[in-house]
Structure formats: C-alpha cells, structure tokens
C-alpha cells in the first residue's frame, strides 16, 4: 500500500479475474475483519429488465381500467338516453 492508500493488484490476479483498468470494484470487511475485494457486476441490464416488467404490468392495469371506465361511461350514456326498447 502506498502513502495514498492505493493497493496494487498483481497482473496475474488481474488477468485471471479479467480486471482491466476502469473495472468497478467493491471493497468491504467481513466479520473477521478481513478485507474483501469484489468485482462489481453490472446490474443495469437486470434492473432495466425488472423495470420493463413493471411497466408492462402497469400498462395492462391502465388498459384494464380504461376499458372499465369506457364501459361504465357507455352504460351511463345508455341509461341517460333511455336505453333501447328492450331495456325499458
């Protein structure tokens, strides 16, 4: 470790873990006080996939609500104008 607190990872370790310059790393400490260094995984595709699912579900709910509202509006209009001869 240097005076700025930087740690150098040996080239063999970087190669075996496929760590390149700019690779995001997470550092932490376990219960025993050991330093844990993990290669950060890109969670963006996973998060975007979940957001897409929520969006699709929301769209379906909104469409269902809109259909119900349209049907209720149609029903109100029919009642307002007296309906058909069969409904009287």
Instruction: Tell me the per-residue pLDDT of 14-56, one tens digit each, with 9 for 90 and over.
Output: 999 889 988 888 899 999 999 998 887 777 777 888 888 888 8
For the chain, helix, strand, coil in percent to 5 are: 50, 10, 35
Q: How many CB atoms lie within 10 A of CB 19?
A: 16
Tell me, what's the pLDDT at 56?
A: 86
Tell me, what's the pLDDT at 81?
A: 82
pTM beyond cutoff 0.75: no
């Amino acid at each position: 470790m240097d005076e700025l607190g930087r740690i150098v990872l040996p080239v063999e370790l970087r190669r075996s873990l496929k760590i390149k310059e700019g690779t995001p790393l997470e550092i932490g400490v376990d219960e025993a006080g050991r330093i844990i260094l993990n290669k950060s995984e890109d969670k963006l595709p996973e998060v975007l996939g979940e957001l897409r699912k929520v969006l699709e579900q929301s769209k379906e709910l909104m469409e269902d609500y809109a259909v119900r509202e349209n049907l209720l509006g149609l029903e109100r209009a029919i009642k307002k104008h007296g309906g058909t001869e069969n409904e009287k």
